[in-house]
């Protein structure tokens, strides 16, 4: 029997409700093939308020000793979002070279979200987001602060290594899924980094001759994803564009509350991290109404990554069954179920 050591960081807001929900499902599924030994860390905005840091100085060294990280959400009123993000999430992604952020989106039976009924056909796509460089950068600064000519500048970082590895990952994934790759850029307006990205996509396409691919400007792509989302399979984009596209597609498929993500270090040299796409949602935190599915599905992706695809599929099946029943849908999906009821529905629907 394999034992995996999981670092658990519920974080802030609804992360403190959805992570226990995912742990309940993981508890129900662990058994003969594997067990999970979890260690919980209180790294969060609450810790930041207490100590001035989201995590301890040796936090990354502590995480290094784990097989995977399960994270809820970061962000709380009173703590600037860039402080919480750069104090916890981004250092983890970068220290562990989690350069792939995989964000699958599916339209589940019975969940139509804002889609017109005639568009509610199979949506089954994956956003592959570059996760450690691009527009997420601290390079820049402010000039003439507090004056009328105050100026803010921010630089993006696109390296040949960074773009090539994410594009290659996306081509390989598209090759296994079979319906082609779309690359999202904005090369008509952003004249250095985006044409560089397009150039590398075109170069790498030659190494993946069987994968159909196309390039789309991000603005036009957003419109197409709203109007005809079923026409897309794998979409690759920069750190910022991938983040925006995954919220957009998750909302089109019903709710961001369902959407999972995997921050992967594909070489498995370091732990990967699994977290829902949604944030801490302080407006509903503490009320027991958050949708746990995004975190539960992220936990399933974690099991897949740890070498338990069968267990991951059992969770997927249970998630689909729970979403098909209006009685066990949370408010974001038009239902009335609490976090606890939605979680119980998944546990009860786990196939034997």
CA dihedral 242, 245, 251, 254 (to 10 degrees): -80
How far, in Å, CA of 5 to CA of 209, rounded?
A: 40
246 binds ligand GGG (CB under 6 A): no
Instruction: Please identify which residue in 130, 233, 243, 332 interacts with ligand GGG, judged by CB under 6 A.
Output: 243
- Considering CB under 6 A, how many residues would be counted as binding ligand GGG? 10
Structure tokens at 169: 């990952």
Residues whose CB falls within 8 Å of the CB of residue 202, separated by 6 or more in sequence, listed in order? none
Closer CB to ligand GGG, 275 or 332, in the complex: 275
Q: Give catalytic status of residue 219 as yes or no.
A: yes
275 binds ligand GGG (CB under 6 A): yes
Closer CB to ligand GGG, 4 or 278, in the complex: 278
216 binds ligand GGG (CB under 6 A): no
DSSP state string for 282-322 = TTTTTTT----HHHHHHHHHHHHHTT-HHHHHHHHHHHHHH
Report, in Å, the least distance between residue 307 CB and ligand GGG.
Answer: 24
For residues 100 and 127, the answer to whether their CB atoms sit within 8 Å is no
Closer CB to ligand GGG, 278 or 308, in the complex: 278
111 binds ligand GGG (CB under 6 A): no
Report, in Å, the least distance between residue 266 CB and ligand GGG.
Answer: 18
How far, in Å, CA of 316 to CA of 318, rounded?
A: 5
The piece of 160-168, 187-195, 201-209, 276-284 that touches ligand GGG (CB under 6 A) is: 276-284
Structure tokens at 25: 């499902």
238 binds ligand GGG (CB under 6 A): no
Report, in Å, the least distance between residue 128 CB and ligand GGG.
Answer: 14
Report, in Å, the least distance between residue 300 CB and ligand GGG.
Answer: 16
How does DSSP classify residue 256?
G
Instruction: Please identify which residue in 14, 74, 92, 264 interacts with ligand GGG, judged by CB under 6 A.
Output: 74
Report, in Å, the least distance between residue 63 CB and ligand GGG.
Answer: 15
264 binds ligand GGG (CB under 6 A): no
How far, in Å, CA of 221 to CA of 253, rounded?
A: 16
Report, in Å, the least distance between residue 335 CB and ligand GGG.
Answer: 22
The piece of 202-210, 252-260, 265-273, 278-286 that touches ligand GGG (CB under 6 A) is: 278-286
Catalytic residue among 67, 169, 186, 332: 186
Q: Give catalytic status of residue 224 as yes or no.
A: no
104 binds ligand GGG (CB under 6 A): no
276 binds ligand GGG (CB under 6 A): yes
How far, in Å, CA of 339 to CA of 274, rounded?
A: 19
Residue bearing tokens 């026409």: 231
Closer CB to ligand GGG, 60 or 205, in the complex: 60
- Closest-CA residue to 80 (of 112, 124, 49, 117): 49
Residues whose CB falls within 8 Å of the CB of residue 252, separated by 6 or more in sequence, listed in order? 105, 113, 114, 115, 123, 225, 226, 229
- Closest-CA residue to 135 (of 89, 185, 88, 203): 185
Report, in Å, the least distance between residue 180 CB and ligand GGG.
Answer: 26
Helix ranges, 96-142 (H): none
For residues 277 and 294, the answer to whether their CB atoms sit within 8 Å is yes
How far, in Å, CA of 352 to CA of 96, rounded?
A: 35
Q: Give catalytic status of residue 144 as yes or no.
A: yes
Closer CB to ligand GGG, 74 or 252, in the complex: 74
Catalytic residue among 247, 283, 332, 348: 247
Query: Applying CB under 6 A, which residues contact ligand GGG?
Result: 73-75, 85, 243, 275-276, 278-280
Catalogue the active-site residues: 144, 186, 219, 243, 247
């Amino acid at each position: 029997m394999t034992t995996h050591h999981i670092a658990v960081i519920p974080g802030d807001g609804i992360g403190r409700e959805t992570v226990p929900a995912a742990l309940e499902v993981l508890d129900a599924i662990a058994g003969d093939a594997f067990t999970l030994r979890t260690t919980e860390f209180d790294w969060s905005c609450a810790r930041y308020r207490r100590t001035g840091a989201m995590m301890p100085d040796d936090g990354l060294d502590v995480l290094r000793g784990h097989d995977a990280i399960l994270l809820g959400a970061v962000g709380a009123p009173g703590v600037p979002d860039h402080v919480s993000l750069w104090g916890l999430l981004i250092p983890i992604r970068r220290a562990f070279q989690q350069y792939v952020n995989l964000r699958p989106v599916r339209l589940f039976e019975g969940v139509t979200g804002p889609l017109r009924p005639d568009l509610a056909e199979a949506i089954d796509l994956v956003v592959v987001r570059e996760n450690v460089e691009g527009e997420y950068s601290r390079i820049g600064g402010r000039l003439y602060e507090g004056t009328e000519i105050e100026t803010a500048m921010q630089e993006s970082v696109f390296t040949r290594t960074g773009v090539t590895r994410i594009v290659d990952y996306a081509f390989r994934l598209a090759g296994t899924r079979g319906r082609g790759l779309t690359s999202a850029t904005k090369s008509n307006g952003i004249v250095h980094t985006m044409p560089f990205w397009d150039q590398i996509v075109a170069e790498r396409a030659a190494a993946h001759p069987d994968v159909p691919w196309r390039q789309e400007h991000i603005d036009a792509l957003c419109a197409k994803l709203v109007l005809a989302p079923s026409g897309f399979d794998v979409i690759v984009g920069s750190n910022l564009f991938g983040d925006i596209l995954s919220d957009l597609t998750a909302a089109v498929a019903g709710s961001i509350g369902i959407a999972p993500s995997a921050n992967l270090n594909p070489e498995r040299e370091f732990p990967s991290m699994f977290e829902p796409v949604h944030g801490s949602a302080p407006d509903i935190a503490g009320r027991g109404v958050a949708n746990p599915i995004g975190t539960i599905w992220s936990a399933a992706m974690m099991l897949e990554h740890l070498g338990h695809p069968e267990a991951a599929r059992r969770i997927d099946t249970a998630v689909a069954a729970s979403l098909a029943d209006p009685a066990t849908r949370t408010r974001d999906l038009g239902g009335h179920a609490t976090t606890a009821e939605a979680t119980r529905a998944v546990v009860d629907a786990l196939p034997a």
